[in-house]
Amino acid sequence: MKINNNQVKLFGETILQIPLKGKSNRLRVRLVHLLNTHLENVINKETNLLFEEYAIRDNDGNKLFHDIEQTQPQIKEEFYLEIDELMSEYLHIEMNENNKDMLLNICNVLLDDKCPIELSGELALFYDQWCEECESVIEFYNKQNESE
């Protein structure tokens, strides 16, 4: 399963809105933990590295300012291209036996017609993408079960 980096936080926040109990809740929390770990250890760290890399410094190496908007247009453009590239990458959640219950659980919840998430605007578009990913996850595990 893959989630676009620019949707990782929203995906986690969205699935936390779904009322779940017991095992379904535990599996959801496991997935949210995985999402948050990626957000902290990859997205946020790499974003901070880019801020450091593109910071304007004095002769002693001290930052002259922290606001990328105040920098030279060429540097600002390069910075935003790097950020866009980072955010267009994906978190890949391996579809293996260890993740099977977690992925199938949240996918079945998201694909359920009774899923109580209110959708509008950008969230509705993202939700559609997440559902397509979930359909692929279910198809993958169904094929795996057929071959066993």
3-state DSSP assignment of residue 128:
helix
SS3 labels along 82-106: HHHHHHHCEEECCCCHHHHHHHHHH
pTM: 0.87
Whether 4 contacts 85, CB under 8 Å: no
pLDDT per position as a tens digit, 49-93: 998 888 777 788 777 766 666 666 677 788 899 999 999 999 999
pLDDT band at 98 (very low <50, low <70, confident <90, very high): very high
- The pLDDT tens digits for 107-141 are 999 999 888 888 899 999 999 999 999 999 999 99
Residue linked to tokens 């002693």: 60
Confidence of residue 103 (pLDDT cuts 50, 70, 90): very high
Q: What is the pLDDT of residues 14-45, one digit of tens each?
A: 999 999 999 999 999 999 999 999 999 999 99
